[in-house]
Every structure is written in C-alpha cells, then in structure tokens.
Amino acid sequence: PLLARSLIQQRKYHEVLKLDPGPGFSSEATAELLATRGLAYLLSGDSENAGRELDSAIRANPDSINALVELARLSVHLRDFDKARLYLDKAFETDPDYSLAWSLQGDLYRLENMPEAAIEAYTKAIENSHNKSRDLIQRARLYMQLAQYEQAQHDVDNLKKITPGHPEADFVQGLLYLAQNNSLEAQESLEHCLRKSPDHMLATYYLGVVHFTRGNMEQADRYLSSHMDDNPGSINGRKLLALVKLRLGDYISTENLIDPVVKSRPDDTIALNILADSMFYQGKIDELLPVLKESAAHQPDSASAQTRMGIGLLLQGEEEAAIDSLESAIEIDPGHKTSDMLLVLHYLHTQQYDKA
C-alpha cells in the first residue's frame, strides 16, 4: 500500500494497477491497496473501473477509511454530492482528524460555492497533515476569491517555505498578483513557474490572461494557443483565445474556436456574442440574426443584447422589428446612447425628421 501511494504521488497510475494484494495481506492492507488502485483508475479517467475497485475495497474491509474517502472522491467526480457526504461522514466516524477526508470535504464545499465552509475544512486538513501543500494552495485561492489577500499571501509564503523552488508556489503567487491587478508581478511569477515546469497548462493560460488584460494580443495568442494545444477541452481557454483572435482580426479562427462552445453551451451569452461578432465581420448576415436572437433571449434585461439584435434586424431589412428592439433597449436603460444614436440615424435616413 505504501508503494502504491508513492506511485500515485508520481502520477505513475499504470504502475499502481500492476500491484495486487498478496495471499498474506490483512483485510486492512487489501482494502487500502484496492482503494489506491481505485484512485489510480479515477485519475486515469476510468470511473467505471474505479467504482469496481472501491467496491472490492469496502467488501474487504467495510471500515477502511481510505476506501470510504476514495468512494467519496468518486462520488464528487460523478457530481453525486449527497452520496459523497455520506461516505465522508462514515470516514469521520472512524477518524475525525483524517486529513484526506477534510481535504475532500473542502473540495466538496468549494464545488458547492461555499467558500467559508471550504476554508474551514482545508484548515482542518492543514492542521492534521504532514503534506500541507495542496490544501494551502486551495485555501489561498479561496482567500483570493473572497478578496482576503493578506491571508492568501500568508498561505503562499508558507507554501514557499514548505516547497522552496517548487513551480506551484510561483503559480499561486502569480494568481495572487493577478487578483490584485499587479499584472507585471503576475507575469514574472507565472514565467518563473513555466521555466521550472514547461508543461504547466494553467500557467500558460494565465499568462495569456495577463497579456490580454494588458492589450498584448500577439503574446496572449501565443500562450493561449499553447494552452489549447495541451488542453483542447478547456472552455475558458477556447473562449479567451477566440476573443484574442477577434481582436487580431482573424474572424474565421474566432468562429472555428467559439462555435463548439456555443453548441455545447447554448446559453453561454459571452460565447454567443463572440460568435455573433465573428459572423458580423465576415459578412455572414443571414447566419448572424439567429445568434443575436438567441443571445437576447438569454438576456431579456440587457440593453446591449437588445441593441445588438436591433442592429442585426436593420442589416436584414426588418426595420419595424429593429425599432422595437432598439426602443426596448432604451426602456431597459434610458441612458443607452448607442440605441439612441442608431434610432436617430435610422430616422434621418428614412427622412422621419421629427422622430429623429
């Protein structure tokens, strides 16, 4: 079991799966090894086999705290939070100070958008663990979310003491600088991280964010493209890279990047707006209007969405519907000058001077 845990830390999941309980294993050791095999399957993306291994672990020893925690982890992965809580409650009955259980409890609260409760859970994990790094990172990020930057910096400083020179410390420091709008310091820390760990996918993403916020679109393009090469399923990476391509005038690439996001998340208004802009600049007017209507339907109280739809309707020659949309935008926000301007220009063009 100790060898299996060591291999897990090194991400040698296939090596873990080669380990089998021997005939002389105690029920406790058998359950621990099978639980670790289940974790290896889960981390390899095979939740079905993970479940089988963990069920075998519980059969070997129903009180195995490792098996209970890994079953809770699998339940979190499957978004069955109620079942995860049941397994964690059983684990705490066995050992109320078990750090891995508290760490997972923190993950569960974080996913349920309960940052204060998550911080308390990670604090318990830190107090009872020899390996505090992961929980310090998670707690620091939650402090950032709550804009408690002094506490976050305290956790980052502790992380640097525990793991001097480790790229993850530079990464979290970069996030903290970014949260405080210190983009130059954020860039420096993230570049330190990337030099030590060239395959750090999140460092490349956040360097893209830093350069985007500073208006350096070519550098943002380079980092975000690298991020997407390593992580093609990243929705946030895809959306931000599409926006960068839009700013660079590469409208075809923008559409190709953002279209899969819209298809998988039809209510993502940011993605819909990026797609609409790419179609507008390509002159795809017939395809533009349905996208604008979809975006406006998801934002009935947005003056900007109504204005954009009004523009699309004007381009299609549907003047009456366009006027309705633009007037709706003004009703929502009487100070929305773009809608006022468009109505003035339309009435001047159609020689309706009194209305203008």
DSSP class of residue 10 equals T
Confidence of residue 18 (pLDDT cuts 50, 70, 90): very high
Give the model's pLDDT for residue 55.
Answer: 94
Confidence of residue 32 (pLDDT cuts 50, 70, 90): very high
Residue 15 CA to residue 130 CA, distance in Å, equals: 25
Give the model's pLDDT for residue 24.
Answer: 85
Give the model's pLDDT for residue 165.
Answer: 87
Percentage of the chain modeled with pLDDT above 70: 100
Top pLDDT among 126 and 355 is at 126
Residue 225 CA to residue 239 CA, distance in Å, equals: 12
342-350 mean pLDDT? 88
pLDDT at 315 over 90: no
pLDDT at 72 over 90: yes
Give the model's pLDDT for residue 321.
Answer: 87
- In this structure, the dihedral spanned by the alpha carbons of residues 47, 49, 54 and 57, taken in order and rounded to 10 degrees, is -170
Residue 353 main-chain phi, psi, to 5 deg: -70, -35
177-204 mean pLDDT? 94
CB 296 within 8 A of CB 302: yes
Beta-carbon-side half-sphere exposure of residue 26 (alpha carbons within 13 Å): 5
Confidence of residue 356 (pLDDT cuts 50, 70, 90): confident
Residue 25 main-chain phi, psi, to 5 deg: -70, 140
Give the model's pLDDT for residue 214.
Answer: 93
CA dist 62 to 28, 91, 145, 254, 308, Å? 9, 11, 38, 53, 60
Residue 173 CA to residue 187 CA, distance in Å, equals: 10
pLDDT at 300 over 90: no
Give the three-state DSSP class for 97: coil
Residue 177 main-chain phi, psi, to 5 deg: -60, -40
Give the model's pLDDT for residue 322.
Answer: 86
Residue 249 CA to residue 216 CA, distance in Å, equals: 14
Give the model's pLDDT for residue 117.
Answer: 97
Give the model's pLDDT for residue 296.
Answer: 87
What is the biggest distance separating any 2 CA atoms in the chain, rounded to whole angstroms?
A: 95
pLDDT at 224 over 90: yes
Residue 277 CA to residue 160 CA, distance in Å, equals: 44
pLDDT at 85 over 90: yes
Give the three-state DSSP class for 123: helix
Give the model's pLDDT for residue 346.
Answer: 86
Confidence of residue 64 (pLDDT cuts 50, 70, 90): very high
pLDDT at 310 over 90: no
Lowest-confidence pick of 100-114, 157-171, 292-306 = 292-306
Residue 99 main-chain phi, psi, to 5 deg: -65, -40
For the chain, what is the mean pLDDT? 93
The residue with tokens 């420091």 is 173
CB 86 within 8 A of CB 78: no
94-113 mean pLDDT? 95
pLDDT at 119 over 90: yes
Give the model's pLDDT for residue 196.
Answer: 93
What does pTM read for this prediction?
0.80
